[in-house]
Amino acid sequence: MPEEHIPFAELEFDETPDQSHLNSCEECRKGWAAFRFLGFQVKSAPQIDPPPFFSQRLAHLAQTTEVSFVFLFQRVAQQLIPVFLVLVLATSFLLYRQTEVEPAMEYYSAVFFPEPVPEDLSVEDVVDSLRELPEEELLP
């Protein structure tokens, strides 16, 4: 016949459970030994008085709500909007300046790079250019 075990969670450290049940139930004897050991440890622990502001601090922590991830994301977004605005304005200004400076770039490219070869070449142009070369370069 299965009997119910002793509910140690509901007992106070001063109370004693039913001895007849303890004598017949191995599991409750183990639980009773652990319960007595913990009761002894709790009774022999030093008494520490909390500081006077401790209860106020706990009450304050209980009243404050936890900040959600969405709130933090909104806060960061609000702070980053001016940064992105400045970045877009600076980029658009630099692109505008780049298109404005392009004619000067064409002048400098003509100075530093040789003129491209004209597209309409005739056979006479090729023969004339070959005549200008010394004969040593033409022969292998």
Residues 55, 61: Cα–Cα separation, whole Å: 10
- What are the boundaries of each domain within the chain? 1-44, 71-112
Residues 50, 72: Cα–Cα separation, whole Å: 34
pLDDT at 122 over 50: yes
- 75-104 pLDDT, tens per residue? 888 888 989 999 999 998 888 877 665 555
* Sign of the dihedral through C-alpha 131, 136, 139, 140: negative
Residues 126, 128: Cα–Cα separation, whole Å: 5
C-alpha 56: how far from chain center: 34
- 11-33 pLDDT, tens per residue? 777 787 888 888 888 888 888 88
Q: Where are the alpha helices (DSSP H) in 2-134?
A: 19-24, 26-44, 54-63, 69-112, 123-132
What pTM value is reported for the model? 0.33
